[in-house]
Amino acid sequence: MSKQSFCKKCNKPIKFVLTKKHKFMPVDIEPVKSNGHNYLFNEITEQFEILPAEQSGLISHFATCEFANEFRKKPVNRDK
């Protein structure tokens, strides 16, 4: 896990975690309780997984940031 940082758009505190595909993903630093259906980052296994209801994990900042769409890559037009 990396040190605390701040979102460039909304300025909320975040940190980056390494995914299975070896890419860094921003997550909110405050754990949230699972509803049993959403993927959260499990700090024990260091993976995103569906956690049992009421267990806490870290949620992707893309799910909570009001500016998340501005960070998405534009689709590549392969018709050219």
Note the pLDDT tens digit of each residue in 26-62: 999 999 999 988 899 998 898 999 999 989 999 999 9
Confidence of residue 1 (pLDDT cuts 50, 70, 90): low
Using only C-alpha atoms, what is the Rg of the chain?
A: 14
**Residue from 46, 39, 54, 51 nearest 16 by CA:** 46
Predicted pLDDT of residue 9: 93
For the chain, how many helices (H) and strands (E)?
0, 7
Q: pTM score, two decimals?
A: 0.79
- The Cβ of residue 56 has, within 10 Å, a number of other Cβ atoms equal to 13
Q: 68-72 long-range CB contacts below 8 Å, 24 or more apart?
A: 70/9, 71/9
